[in-house]
Structure 1
Amino acid sequence: MLHLMLGRAGFGKTSCIHQELASRVKEGEQRLMLLVPEQFSFESERALLALLGPKLAQTVQVVSFTRLAQRLLQQEGVSSSKRLDDSGRAMLMSLALSQAQDHLTVYRPQAQTPGMIQSMLSASAEFKMCGISPDQLGAVSHSLSGPLGSKIADLSAVLSLYDALVSQSYVDPMDDLTHFARLLSQKPLLQGWQIFLDGFNGFTGQEWLVIRRMMEQASDLWVTLCTDRLDDPDNGSGLFSPVSETGRRLRRMAKEAEIPVASPVYLNEAVRFASPCLKELEENIFRYDSLPCESKPSDIVLYEAADPFDEADFVARSIHRLIREQGLRYKNIAVIARSIDPYLGILDEALHRYGIPCFADRRVEVETKPLPQAVLSALEAVSSRWDTGAVLRACKTGFMGLGTEDIAKLENYVLLWKISGSRWTSPWHGNPRGFVEQETEEDILALEAINGLRERVMAPLLSLEQGLTGTGAQMAQAVWRFLEDVAAPDTLRAMVQQLESRGEHDLADQLNRSWDSVVGLLDQAVDTLSNADMTPSRFRELLQLALTTCDLGHIPQGLDQVSLGSADRMRPADVEVAFLVGANEGEFPASNASSGLLGDSERKQLIAYGLPLSDTAQQRACEEQFLTYTSLFVPSHQLYVSYTRQNFSGENTLPSSLFSEIRRCFPSLRIQTTPQELEELIEAEMPAFDQCASHLKDNTPKAASLRAYFSASPQWSDRMSALFRAADASPIAFSHPEGARALFGGSMRLSATRIEQYHLCRFAYFCKYGLSANVRRPAEVDALEYGSMTHFLLEHLLSRFDSSSWEALSTSEQLSCIEGLADQYVCTHLGGWEDKSPRFKALLRRFTRSCLALAQHLFREQEQSSFIPVDFELAVGRDGDVKPFTLLLPGGERIQVEGKIDRVDIMQKDGISYVRVVDYKTGVKKFRLSDILYGLNMQMLLYLIALWRDNSKYGSVVPAGILYMPALESAVELDRHADPKALALKKTAGFKMNGLVLDDPTVVQGMEPGAKGIFIPVKALKNGGFDARSSLASLAQLGRIEEHIRRILTQMAQSLQNGDIAALPIQGSGVDACQYCPYHAVCGWEKGDASRPFQTMKNDQVFETILREEGGISHE
């Protein structure tokens, strides 16, 4: 007999069914079965255990459709073949699409894409659940014309091939219910059973087939339905229309089978709700003929959140308050979203901040775990012919036998030398330090170690490459051998033990189960792909697709936890308070969007041809409304509903119809927003600290109380100190100067580059030279390397030729000479010509032609100058040819500035030695004397002063100046008809040096007779003076510059020793210390923050400023 029990949400249907079962158990009846949806199984078993006790509860079999089918099929020996899982389905569907591709019309272009494989699997699952065979599709396709007919014909062809491939070796669990129904038609396995169906609102086509046999065999079939009537005055569009249709269909089926039908049992009293408000809401919601309720609902809260983060904080704050004020248990609270996935990482994190334990019903993707990633990365490395990213990803999974430091060394080397492709398969020769002139013993040992790491990584990968041939089954076996080669089981065991020791049992369990997933997937591949030839790339795609179908589940780590879940998956019991989040338009209820390969109009056409498809637009709309209804009435005591003004993408959103419908029922209900009062936001320490930070400078008693509490707390006091520093914009500094002195030293050996970096930004100096947080740069011929090459070429040219011998060469001979030197440089500094790209060679040719023009200008300048080059790459330092610039600090420590001078020129005149320093610049370096006021551009002046004050190398010398010589030929803009002479003048002007020259006619004439301003930044006037743009300084002024530099360096040393590392960059007049700074992401400096303003000045203004400093007025 068929018994229908009808009642709306919360009316006690489940309790009544349990009582019916209990009464029969106590009467001694045996064949009792409770059939529930899979997600209801645990809660149903627990409820019966509590009602009947352990012994009697065993009398009732609690099963789902799938578990019942599997049990009886195995009992009868029908399901003895291998069972197919999701990964096997993906592989077989790929094969089916591959075999059918040439015969397809609509789906041929996308046949081998992962997206099409997934779509076909979804279509197969849907048709099987609806009881539609590929043959039925084929028959219907002959009656259809146009695109739909072709589409259905394609589906029939692919799914027929797929089913044939499955049947060769497997049983598809998706066919279990179909096989079960067929088995029941042959054997009365359920004869005499009393079967109770609870928790269903509708059934699939396969389930209907089973229910028909149940009706015929069971002595009683009870079905609960969430509706209050069987008729449908709303013609399919009402809240309970789909459920009522389920009831009517059950009655029709029973009558067709001549099964007695009992009068429906109507439950008319809500028993779940302890809150009158929820009871009233259930009676009126989605019933548009109902009248508004006059009562003010105290147990229903509507909340408008600014964004999902505000919403998550509201939920966590409210739960914390409920626990504190009402003494609720966490397990009696549920948070329901239409889809919980977007909230993960936001909602659970908010609950964690409030100290609230929670369990999220979420899918844990196996493909993100280290072992599957190791397999996929290794396959990608092979199929891509050693893509560096893939090889390094494999290393970083931990399964390639390298530790963290080894991986870092390998990655640094690979990035340094841009290793990729076949270079992974042969020994490396590049120096681990990059381009160096001399290789040390340490370099050789380091390179040997790195090559050892390369071999350890590549040995198993090369073995894998050899095995990845033939069929997919052979490739799966090669992957298994790869896992053995890298000792994957031992590595995984060590990883699990480490996680267990840290108390991360859930992650440890997931890692363990990832092994089962990977091994099971390989087993499936051996079985399903034994006759499928494919490329390594295709095999990897299939493996990755199969992995996406696997998940590890998520086991609750406690008994008392808040439940988080999606509305269509979550079936919580004993919930007193529920939070419905994300009630935005189009989200909850979800928008009525069609999915899959068939559109809504196509579905309607197929239904018209007799195919029992579901999921039309109207059905989806009704199901969404019903799902929303059942979610609303999960709780017994209180309901919270929230939406966000902005979604996860930052787009503006509106509340869903749920808000307006609740307010229609309760017009007096007001929508709450984020509280403005501070005490309403304070529920736990961590969020309270956030509020303290937000209101740090508020002059209110509440804010003061928060500041006092956290400042006095040992746990929070350090964070409070950091907050105060940030709020006061306190410059970054060492908390104890002793630490700075230990890091930077008392006495310091500095370079001009370090000095410049410090004055550009002290924090950047700290990062680079204190922390050694250096940017990893590839060994390539960049601007810096071109500069080094230029220095090398010019040094050798000037030491080998004078102006007359150079001019004696033809242009081709000059170019040949430069090319020879460039070749020498490549061999001695850049690791030789091996692995040099055609692009490198082309750039080098262009560079040598540019150097020819530079050399020709250089020798022309030398020919007319009295200054003779005497030294190149001259070392300045304690162990150098010239003693360093030395400064004695007030505390007795010393500063020494060391470096190398590109070129030293000397002129002997009237018994006096004049010295100048020349630097070659491949960039657009311009000397501005005003730079030194800010501690910038002092390198050449420091070298000149070192030569001036140290008589050991050249004896007593007079400083004649510093000059920057452009080392690259600049572009020339001229009329196309310009004569060669004009072109030559323009090119010469492009090589004009800039810098600072001693204001002495002897020196000026010695550098450029006539001082026409062609070679040096000085131009004579007819009256014997120099024009205003000439860059000159007297000997006394050079002395003042020296004293200024000493003051600057003293201040620098004292600031460093005091721990001053403030992020105070120089900004202004075209100087921006932050523009290319690699540390900008960590310093916290933003536009508008305090900086050191930079301003250019004329030379006379600079000397005036220095004079004021000497008078006691500091520039800083």
Structure 2
Amino acid sequence: MLYLILGRAGYGKTEYCFHKIQSLAESGNQDILLLTPEQYNFTAEKRLLSMLGESRVNSVQNLSFTRLSNELKRLYGGDTLPVLSKGAKAVLMKKAMDFVKDELTVFANKTNTASFISSMTDIYDEMKSCAKSWQDIQSASERINRKLLSGKLSDISKIIEKYEELISGVYFDSADEMTRLYTRLAETSFLKGKTVFIDGFNGFVANEIKILERIIQDSQDVYITLATDSFGQEKEYDLFAYINKTAATVIRIAADTGLDYRIIQLDKNYRTQNKFLLLCEKQLYSQNAAVIDEQPDSISIYKAKSISDECDHAALMIKKELRAGCRAGEIAVICRDTEKYRSELSYAFRKYEIPFFDDERQSIGAQPVVAFVRFLLRTVVYSFRSEDILSLAKTGLTALAPTDVNTLENYIYMWNISGVKKWGVPFVNSAKGFSSELSEYDKKVLEKINQAREYLYSRLIQFKNAVKDSDAAGISAAVYHALLSFGANRKLKSLASDLNELGKDALADEQQRVWDLLMNILNDLAVVSGSESMRVKDYADLFSIMIHSEDLGVLPQGIDCVQFGQADRMRADNPKIVFVLGANEGEFPKSVFSGGLLTENDRIALSENDFTLYSFGETLTYQERYFAYMALSVASDKLFVSYEGNVKNDAPSSLITSLRTMFPAMEVCRYEDIPETELVESRTSAFDLMAAKFGENTSFSESLKKYFEKDSRYHSVKLLFENEEISLNNRENSKKLFGKDMYLSASRLEDYFNCRFRYFCKFGLMARPLQKAQMNAMQTGTVIHYVLEHVLSEVGTKKLSGESEAHIRIIVNKYLNQYFETQLGDTTEFTKRFKYQFMRLSKMLYSVVIRLADEFAHSSFQAEAFELSIDQDGDVQPSVIQLEDGTVRIRGAVDRVDVLNKDGEKYIRVVDYKSGNKKFKLSDVLYGLNLQMFVYLFTICSDKKSRFSGIPAGVLYMHAARSVFSVDCGDAEQTLKADADSEYKMKGIVLYDQEHDILNEMEDGVKGRFIPVHYTKSGLKGCFASLEGLGRIAKKINTLIAEMGNGLHAGHIEQNPINGKDHNYTCDYCDYSDVCASKKYIHKREMIQMDDSKVISVLEEVQDGKTVD
């Protein structure tokens, strides 16, 4: 006898079955079978045990269709073919595609993509569940009068035919499980005398219908529950139209087998007694819904500003329910797309300390051991590409410490190392970059780097040799041995042990499960790929396909957890309180269309030709409304529904409009409507509120601030809100960090006065951006300095003008080659491009030397020192500047020092070579910029023990690079000469000493070809200063250096970038913009533009006690 138990959600269909089961079991019946969906098995088991007790629970077999098949195999035996894993199935499907690729028409160019392989396995499973063979598909393709669809079906049938040929007699595909179950039920007496209960299903696919036929025909009694109250009424747009079709199919089966049936229609809601929830369940989607004109106390609607707000509100309300005594297991959260909500909801639950369980299976692609194997294979496929080797090392599954990996990566980046040839030999260059020789420290660092290189290379080359000309089994074995040689297995065990100690048992167990799954994948690859030789690239492609196909189940973290799931899959376990998220138009209920290889129109055309597949079109719409109905009807006590409503297009769905139609007095809640005190449900949420409301002068805000004022994070919030300057509060720590007695390079002055925070990052935290060893502007400048120093030292400034151009070329090339051979370390591995870029500097250097020859031919100054060292053990001793508690000394090296001996005095000027076009403004000095050369000049002149002690005569910047000029053809020669003179004219400032006529000694006639001054009819023009003016500059610079030293001791590291003409990109190109602490706004130090004479007068004011802003 067939009993069809019908009733709406909560009307006691399951209760009816369980009471019947209890009655049968207590009467001694041992032949009871309960069939439920897979996801409901555990809940049903608990219910049976609670109801029947340990003594009678074994009277009932609680199975799903898959577990029923396994039970029959256990009882009666059967084929022993190994079951294909998801990954192995994908690989064999790919092999089938490759076999028939030349015969395909529509899909011929898509067989190599992972997405197509996935779609093909999906369509195969769908065809099987709909009881369609490849012959059926081929037949349909022949009778369909649509070329594209016919071609699709023909391709699909050919692939499936080949796939089934590959697995026939070798493997078993679980897609055939229902077919095997049907055969076993027909061949055995398993169902004879049994009373079968089928509960919890929304519908059945074709192959399950066949199983029902066998169950109804062979069992003694069959009870089937379906959620509907309109069967036989044929209402248009009925909510249960989809379920009614299933009911009709079940009755047809009974009629075809000549079996009596009885319809038991349940008409009372036993789940809830709340009048609002009763109305919601009864009237949702009803065209003539009843109306209750009062605010429902058990139903609420929340209009969220964002997904984050929506999830936070749900977690907030759940926390309140938990505090009120509700158990977590009595609460369910339902949405239509778990992927959209998973991360935000997980964060919100952790924030409010809510235990929850999400049964979604995880991809294994991101697991470290899987990533390890992927990069291991890629290393061989791409011939030891560095990014693959370093990615392998970063998985944490090697013996290398993270610091060793980081140091190695920096070295690889610096020297642009990649490929098996470069990895196979010891690295010889300095980890600091270009260097003529290695210090002892450099050698130790390099030795450590080479140990890491050898560790990785020796194991990787062993793996490379092992997989050469091997088959899949050999490659799988080599992968396994590589894992062992790197110690990946030990690392995973160690990780699991650490996780256990931290109380994260589930994560600890996951490590072993991932390892076991990986071993299965390697084994499956070896088995399904055959014994023919295989390229590593092909193996890697198949490995990726398997990884894409496999997943990992999530183990519950505890017994009492909030249930979270997707509406079309979730079977909630009688929750008291339900939260429905995402009730937006098109999202829940979802606007769905059939996807995959066959489109919506394809499926309609097939249905018209008596070839029906999964639901499509209008049926999908009915299903979506049914899923929404079930979600809103599962709560017994309270229902919370939320949607996003912050954006114009975020319209509420029919769930919201239906609820508001039934309950017109219902108010929609927003974040702003919730009293502040009710928002505090955990320490984390309270801190977030404190931060969000920090600026509000309310008792609530002040109470939160008072509570958290000793929290280590409180100061950061306060700092941000009040826009306080960052500083190091402990003066002693500042001195330890920067040094009580500072010994600084002159270039640091520029960093400090550009921005103190940048200085802190660079020289306090010692955070430096990685630099490649290449011919950049800095390296080009170093080469220029070297060559010019050696050329001028060899020839001399006065003799230079007498040298022929040919000889100058020879000398330039000699020292350029000498630099290449002696200063760059091992040059054997340099690329041709690098060597070309380096040697093309000769043309530029030749032009510069010719210009120098011309300059010294018109000047009485002579270059007497190159790369002059200002240091404790250098040619010149650094000056000592006193601080409030300590000292500052500035060290450095001067590119060139020129000397003029006249009238018993020694005049000194310093020259800096610039590969870029240096702009010089004396006003920069007032703000701490461009101090370096001035510091050098005044230090050299003031060192009485130095042979260069004398009178400061100027600071000059020489453009030592080639420039491109645009000229008209008519006056090209004259224009080029004028442009070159202008380009090569030195920038800077020189001494104006009319008594000794120093300017004329610098350049005959003071025409301004070489120095930044010239005479006109109205007098001297350009950048110059008297000796008294230079003295004021020196005094200002000493004041600035002392200000810097005292500021660092006081912990002044605030963000105060300079801003002004030619200095308005300080932040745009800062290396530390990513770590610059967030602020509401940053106060930039604005520069006042002024001419040189104004600068000198300002310095006079400074001496009188005034300051410059």
TM over 0.5: yes
Q: Secondary structure at the match of 1:960?
A: strand
Please state if 1:144 is matched with 2:144.
Answer: yes
Q: How far has the Cα of 1:847 moved from its partner?
A: 2.1
Structure 2 residue aligned with 1:250: 250
CA contact (8 A) 1:496 1:508 kept: yes
Superimposed CA distance per residue, residues 19-66 of structure 1 (whole angstroms, 9 cap, x where no aligned partner): 000000000011101000000000001011111112211110000000
Q: How far has the Cα of 1:809 moved from its partner?
A: 5.0
Residues 127 and 354 of structure 1, relative CA distance in 2, 3 Å threshold? same
Structure 2 residue aligned with 1:135: 135
Q: Secondary structure at the match of 2:409?
A: helix
CA contact (8 A) 1:969 1:991 kept: no
Please state if 1:728 is matched with 2:712.
Answer: no
Structure 1 residue aligned with 2:775: 781
Q: Secondary structure at the match of 2:857?
A: helix
Q: How far has the Cα of 1:833 moved from its partner?
A: 3.4
Structure 2 residue aligned with 1:661: 658
Correspondence 1:937-1016 to 2 at 5 A: 937-954=930-947, 956-1001=949-994, 1002-1016=997-1011
Structure 1 stretch 725-734 or stretch 801-810: which is displaced more? Answer: 801-810
Q: Secondary structure at the match of 1:224?
A: strand
Superimposed CA distance per residue, residues 1054-1092 of structure 1 (whole angstroms, 9 cap, x where no aligned partner): 111111111111122231321211222222356842121
Taking the aligned partners of 1:220 and 1:815, their CA distance within structure 2 comes to 107
Structure 1 residue aligned with 2:45: 45
Q: Secondary structure at the match of 1:1083?
A: coil
Match of 1:856 among 844, 847, 850: 850
Match of 2:903 among 907, 910, 914: 910
Please state if 1:453 is matched with 2:440.
Answer: no
Correspondence 1:749-898 to 2 at 5 A: 749-802=743-796, 806-807=800-801, 810-891=804-885, 893-898=886-891
Taking the aligned partners of 1:1069 and 1:681, their CA distance within structure 2 comes to 50
Match of 1:1018 among 992, 1013, 1016: 1013
Taking the aligned partners of 2:281 and 2:416, their CA distance within structure 1 comes to 67
Structure 1 stretch 431-440 or stretch 469-478: which is displaced more? Answer: 469-478
Structure 2 residue aligned with 1:674: 671
Please state if 1:153 is matched with 2:146.
Answer: no
Q: How far has the Cα of 1:274 moved from its partner?
A: 3.4
Taking the aligned partners of 1:655 and 1:813, their CA distance within structure 2 comes to 85
Match of 1:396 among 373, 394, 407: 394
Structure 1 stretch 158-167 or stretch 467-476: which is displaced more? Answer: 467-476
Amino acid of the structure 1 residue aligned with 2:335: A
Match of 1:1103 among 1084, 1096, 1099: 1096
Taking the aligned partners of 2:690 and 2:440, their CA distance within structure 1 comes to 57
Q: How far has the Cα of 1:953 moved from its partner?
A: 2.3
Residues 532 and 335 of structure 1, relative CA distance in 2, 3 Å threshold? farther
Correspondence 1:365-514 to 2 at 5 A: 365-422=363-420, 423-468=422-467, 469-514=469-514
Residues 26 and 779 of structure 1, relative CA distance in 2, 3 Å threshold? same
Amino acid of the structure 1 residue aligned with 2:1090: M
Residues 328 and 955 of structure 1, relative CA distance in 2, 3 Å threshold? closer
Residues 50 and 958 of structure 1, relative CA distance in 2, 3 Å threshold? same
Taking the aligned partners of 1:173 and 1:933, their CA distance within structure 2 comes to 81
CA contact (8 A) 1:586 1:656 kept: yes
Q: Secondary structure at the match of 2:965?
A: coil
Taking the aligned partners of 2:15 and 2:71, their CA distance within structure 1 comes to 27
Match of 2:1047 among 1055, 1073, 1078: 1055
Taking the aligned partners of 2:543 and 2:685, their CA distance within structure 1 comes to 44
Amino acid of the structure 2 residue aligned with 1:344: R
Give me the CA root mean square deviation.
1.8
Taking the aligned partners of 1:533 and 1:286, their CA distance within structure 2 comes to 62
Q: How far has the Cα of 1:652 moved from its partner?
A: 4.4
**Number of residue pairs the alignment of both structures matches:** 1102
Structure 2 residue aligned with 1:1067: 1059
Q: How far has the Cα of 1:919 moved from its partner?
A: 0.4
Structure 2 residue aligned with 1:304: 303
Q: Secondary structure at the match of 1:587?
A: coil
Taking the aligned partners of 1:311 and 1:274, their CA distance within structure 2 comes to 28
Structure 1 stretch 116-125 or stretch 543-552: which is displaced more? Answer: 543-552
Structure 1 residue aligned with 2:166: 165
Taking the aligned partners of 2:949 and 2:277, their CA distance within structure 1 comes to 100
Taking the aligned partners of 2:576 and 2:515, their CA distance within structure 1 comes to 40
Taking the aligned partners of 2:155 and 2:273, their CA distance within structure 1 comes to 55
Structure 1 residue aligned with 2:740: 746
Match of 2:1033 among 1024, 1027, 1041: 1041
Structure 2 residue aligned with 1:272: 271
Structure 1 stretch 103-112 or stretch 678-687: which is displaced more? Answer: 678-687
CA contact (8 A) 1:5 1:13 kept: yes
Q: Secondary structure at the match of 1:100?
A: helix
Please state if 1:233 is matched with 2:234.
Answer: yes
CA contact (8 A) 1:921 1:966 kept: yes
Taking the aligned partners of 2:384 and 2:413, their CA distance within structure 1 comes to 14
Amino acid of the structure 2 residue aligned with 1:296: Q
Taking the aligned partners of 1:319 and 1:136, their CA distance within structure 2 comes to 52
Residues 208 and 570 of structure 1, relative CA distance in 2, 3 Å threshold? same
Superimposed CA distance per residue, residues 411-447 of structure 1 (whole angstroms, 9 cap, x where no aligned partner): 1111111111232233222212211122223323332
Q: How far has the Cα of 1:997 moved from its partner?
A: 0.2
Q: How far has the Cα of 1:802 moved from its partner?
A: 3.7
Q: What is the aligned-residue identity percentage?
A: 33
Taking the aligned partners of 2:289 and 2:7, their CA distance within structure 1 comes to 18
Superimposed CA distance per residue, residues 849-872 of structure 1 (whole angstroms, 9 cap, x where no aligned partner): 111111111111011111101010
Amino acid of the structure 2 residue aligned with 1:896: R
Residues 816 and 167 of structure 1, relative CA distance in 2, 3 Å threshold? farther
CA contact (8 A) 1:6 1:229 kept: no
Taking the aligned partners of 1:556 and 1:186, their CA distance within structure 2 comes to 39
Structure 1 stretch 482-491 or stretch 940-949: which is displaced more? Answer: 482-491
Amino acid of the structure 1 residue aligned with 2:211: V
Structure 1 stretch 55-64 or stretch 395-404: which is displaced more? Answer: 395-404
Q: How far has the Cα of 1:804 moved from its partner?
A: 6.8
Superimposed CA distance per residue, residues 246-279 of structure 1 (whole angstroms, 9 cap, x where no aligned partner): 1111111111111221x21111000001321111
Q: Secondary structure at the match of 2:671?
A: coil
Please state if 1:624 is matched with 2:624.
Answer: yes
Taking the aligned partners of 2:629 and 2:814, their CA distance within structure 1 comes to 85
Taking the aligned partners of 2:483 and 2:1005, their CA distance within structure 1 comes to 80
Taking the aligned partners of 1:142 and 1:523, their CA distance within structure 2 comes to 40
Q: How far has the Cα of 1:688 moved from its partner?
A: 2.1
Superimposed CA distance per residue, residues 170-201 of structure 1 (whole angstroms, 9 cap, x where no aligned partner): 11122111011122222232111111000012
TM-score, normalization by structure 1: 0.96
Q: How far has the Cα of 1:820 moved from its partner?
A: 2.7
Correspondence 1:573-652 to 2 at 5 A: 573-645=573-645, 652=649
Residues 561 and 184 of structure 1, relative CA distance in 2, 3 Å threshold? closer
Superimposed CA distance per residue, residues 126-176 of structure 1 (whole angstroms, 9 cap, x where no aligned partner): 011111111111122122241111110000000111111122421112211
Please state if 1:218 is matched with 2:211.
Answer: no
Q: How far has the Cα of 1:542 moved from its partner?
A: 1.7
Q: Secondary structure at the match of 1:25?
A: helix
Q: How far has the Cα of 1:806 moved from its partner?
A: 4.4
Amino acid of the structure 1 residue aligned with 2:127: F
CA contact (8 A) 2:7 2:265 kept: yes
CA contact (8 A) 2:801 2:857 kept: no
CA contact (8 A) 2:848 2:961 kept: yes
Q: How far has the Cα of 1:607 moved from its partner?
A: 2.1
Taking the aligned partners of 1:1005 and 1:87, their CA distance within structure 2 comes to 86
Taking the aligned partners of 2:640 and 2:463, their CA distance within structure 1 comes to 56
Residues 726 and 943 of structure 1, relative CA distance in 2, 3 Å threshold? same
Q: How far has the Cα of 1:719 moved from its partner?
A: 2.8
Q: How far has the Cα of 1:410 moved from its partner?
A: 1.1
Amino acid of the structure 1 residue aligned with 2:610: G
CA contact (8 A) 2:141 2:150 kept: yes
TM-score, normalization by structure 2: 0.97
